[in-house]
């Protein structure tokens, strides 16, 4: 839902329930303060939420899109991440009001597909659970779910998902206990292409593996979602740098663990964004000089000569951007 300026509508939503649903995973239910209906969403959608420390983070919706009056997210407390999930889990309580942008979808479920293969790694189950809830509520379509996690204790929605299997619908849950050799072998799933559409959400190594294994599948039938991937984590050798906004004659320091986008916002400068993980292309900005450390999955080598994705990429020393 966008306003006349092409920006997503901002909502003030109350946390009406919060619950620990697995080790390090917290569920939040959000509703309008008056309990009224909310902007609709489709399976695979996410919310952009301002967490208590002031930064914005994307979280996939995990409830059924047919729920008209609530949004539900499940958040993993990412130690070593950028601090958004820790801020939300540690500091947001039932009754608090959060600033939220209306749902957006970068991981659309193709409703014309005759069958689905879902692959979820860890907290990547959230958009996929919304998809399954929707498919089950609206059709008899078959699907297969592969839900890969480290341990039963850290697996969200475990009992509910186990109970979703039925005729034509299979659930495979695998725990690797952090042992690489114990990883689930997905090759038998993808060896023979089918008419199914594949939806994969999880850590970067899992998505890379599925991407490699589906190279012989039709491109339009394989879909990925990238929130919370390792891409957005600070790297050990990150250093602060300076970003200069040439048109507005402003310069800011970008500390370690903070993105250019966040620095701009902290100074009251609005910039378009959506995924905030370097995958959607929304925050593309022209850069004019300096050395950029590109970390996105959007720009090709040629485009990188003049563009930077300010939600994720960094600079070295000083960079100038066209703002
Ligand atoms: Fe999606 Fe930056 S907001 S690439």
CA contacts within 13 A on the Cβ side of 60: 26
Question: Which of 101, 103, 102, 133 minimizes the C-alpha distance to 116?
Answer: 133
pLDDT of residue 6: 44
Helices (H), ranges, the chain? 84-91, 125-138, 158-162, 187-190, 204-213, 260-266
Task: Name all domains of the chain by residue range, CATH numbers in brackets.
Answer: 10-104 (2.40.30.10), 116-229 (3.40.50.80), 234-321 (3.10.20.30)
pLDDT of residue 5: 39
Is the distance from CB of 197 to CB of 214 less than 8 angstroms? no
> 106 in ligand 1 pocket by Cβ < 6 Å?
no
Q: What is the Cα–Cα distance from 305 to 61, expressed in whole angstroms?
A: 36
Report the chain's C-alpha Rg in angstroms: 20
pLDDT of residue 251: 97
> 284 in ligand 1 pocket by Cβ < 6 Å?
no
> 155 in ligand 1 pocket by Cβ < 6 Å?
no
Residues 6+ apart with CB under 8 A from 265: 56, 271
Q: What is the Cα–Cα distance from 145 to 128, expressed in whole angstroms?
A: 9
Is the distance from CB of 179 to CB of 202 less than 8 angstroms? no
Residues 6+ apart with CB under 8 A from 268: none
Q: pLDDT tens string for the chain (323 positions)? A: 554 334 678 899 999 999 999 999 999 999 998 889 999 999 999 998 999 988 888 899 999 999 999 999 999 998 877 788 999 999 999 999 999 999 999 899 999 999 999 999 999 999 999 999 999 999 999 999 999 999 999 999 999 999 999 999 999 999 999 998 999 999 999 999 999 999 999 987 898 899 899 999 998 999 998 765 445 667 788 999 999 999 999 999 999 988 999 899 889 998 888 778 887 888 999 999 999 999 887 888 899 999 999 999 999 999 999 99
User: Looking at ligand 1, which atom is closest to the CA of residue 276?
Assistant: 3
236 CB-contact burial (10 Å; exposed 0-12 / middle 13-18 / buried 19+): exposed
pLDDT of residue 272: 86
Flag whether the pTM goes above 0.85: no
Q: What is the Cα–Cα distance from 260 to 57, expressed in whole angstroms?
A: 14
Helix (H) and strand (E) counts in the chain = 6, 16
Q: Read out DSSP for 182-209?
A: G----HHHHSS--SPEEEEES-HHHHHH
> 280 in ligand 1 pocket by Cβ < 6 Å?
yes
pLDDT of residue 1: 55
CA of 310 to the centre of ligand 1 (A): 7
CA of 179 to the centre of ligand 1 (A): 32
Is the distance from CB of 109 to CB of 42 less than 8 angstroms? yes
């Amino acid at each position: 839902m966008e306003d006349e300026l092409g920006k997503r509508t901002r909502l003030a939503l109350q946390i009406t329930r919060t619950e620990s649903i697995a080790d390090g995973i917290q569920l939040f239910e959000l509703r309008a303060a008056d309990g009224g209906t909310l902007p609709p969403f489709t399976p695979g959608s996410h919310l952009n939420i301002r967490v208590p420390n002031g930064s914005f983070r994307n979280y996939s919706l995990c409830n059924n899109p047919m729920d008209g009056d609530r949004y539900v997210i499940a958040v993993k407390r990412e130690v070593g991440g950028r601090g958004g999930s820790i801020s939300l889990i540690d500091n947001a309580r039932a009754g608090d009001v959060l600033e939220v942008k209306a749902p957006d979808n970068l991981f659309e479920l193709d409703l014309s597909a005759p069958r689905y293969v879902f692959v979820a790694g860890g907290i990547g189950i959230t958009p996929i659970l919304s998809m399954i809830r929707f498919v089950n509520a609206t059709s008899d379509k078959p699907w297969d779910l592969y839900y890969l996690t480290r341990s039963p204790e850290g697996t969200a929605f475990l009992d509910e998902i186990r109970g979703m299997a039925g005729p034509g619908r299979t659930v495979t849950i695998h725990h690797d206990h952090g042992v690489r050799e114990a990883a689930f072998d997905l090759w038998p799933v993808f060896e023979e292409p089918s008419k199914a559409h594949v939806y994969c959400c999880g850590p970067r190594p899992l998505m890379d593996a599925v991407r490699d294994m589906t190279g012989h599948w039709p491109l339009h039938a394989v879909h990925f979602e990238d929130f919370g991937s390792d891409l957005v984590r600070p790297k050990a050798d990150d250093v602060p740098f300076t970003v200069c906004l040439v048109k507005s004659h402003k310069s800011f320091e970008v500390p370690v663990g903070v993105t250019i986008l966040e620095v701009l916002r902290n100074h009251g400068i609005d910039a378009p964004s959506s995924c905030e993980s370097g995958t959607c292309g929304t925050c593309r900005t022209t850069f004019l000089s300096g050395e950029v450390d590109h970390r996105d999955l959007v720009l090709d080598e040629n485009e990188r000569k003049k563009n930077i994705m300010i939600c994720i990429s960094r600079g070295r020393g000083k960079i100038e951007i066209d703002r």
